[in-house]
Amino acid sequence: MKIGVIMGGISSEREVSLKTGQEMINHLDRSRYEAVPIVVTQRADLITQVQQADIDFALLALHGQYGEDGTVQGALETLGIPYTGSGVLASSLCMNKQLSKMLLKTAGIQTPAGLYWKDVYDPQAVEQLGYPVIVKPNLGGSSIGVQLVHNEKELLTAVQEASHLDQGILIEPYLKGTELTCAILDGEVLPIIGIRSAHSEWFDYRAKYEDGGAEENVIELPPVIRQRVREAALASYQLLQCKVYARVDMILCQDMPYVLEVNTLPGMTANSLFPKSAAAAGMTFTQLLDRIIASSLHERKQEWG
């Protein structure tokens, strides 16, 4: 099978995407697949490059806007090329943190309260929320543009930086607790990973992508709490209509899991959490990719008939 590994893109997460794509190529089973790197540098490239490559299947290594937000998925559907992961709707919903949080709250799934700003700056509202707060772009990932803010003086700078990446900004109370991530594959929750940053108070970009930036290990939770975490992860996955695989990031605060976001194309770099969780479940990176490809082919066949 001729597989196009689509990576790069135009989002702030381009460099992470290139690492994900290369890692996928390194671990694809060469006896089963012919890997073709497709590096996207601008929107107009995608369709031409995919058609020229004459691929049978698209392995998506993209992150962020124009990659994880449903646009590339829609383009591939138009071309009739099956692709990995969730469909257009789930991709779009999960990319928009504000919208997905509203849906989670409506369904009774715990997620941090907060403010959503667009063309607004209201420090008094943040004062009422209470410092410290987390400021983040609404559309984005890899903790790019995300800052922990302790007071009003830091707030303006953080908002300005986040607004360079997206018009919409989320401001949430900083919940002190244990950061967790739940990898889900074919509706099954893989071993839960607990994260502790080595350099900062939270799991920032540096912690995610620098060697030794964080301690990430399978975490042993009391059975009742573990069940609570698993249920919250699966409920989020199902509510937002995710398919094949996704990663649900949470913070465990006073034994209650709060869902931070759902990633429909989680990172697959050498340091990424999803492969670590799969390894803890006894899967090699190559076996994980085999599962993702087979399940995605089945899903697209179900959807497209």
What residues are labeled active site? 13, 142, 209, 247, 249, 261, 263, 267
Q: Of 88, 66, 84, 65, which Cα lies nearest the Cα of 141?
A: 65
Hey, what are 217's tokens? 């290990």
263 near 246, Cβ under 8 Å? Answer: yes
Query: d(Cα 170, Cα 146) in Å, to the nearest integer?
Result: 10
Sign (positive/negative) of CA torsion 77, 79, 80, 84?
negative
Strand runs labelled E in 57-191: 57-60, 115-118, 133-137, 147-149, 168-173, 178-185, 188-189
Q: Partners of 178 in the beta sheet? A: 252
Quick one: which H or E segment has residue 246?
Answer: strand 245-253
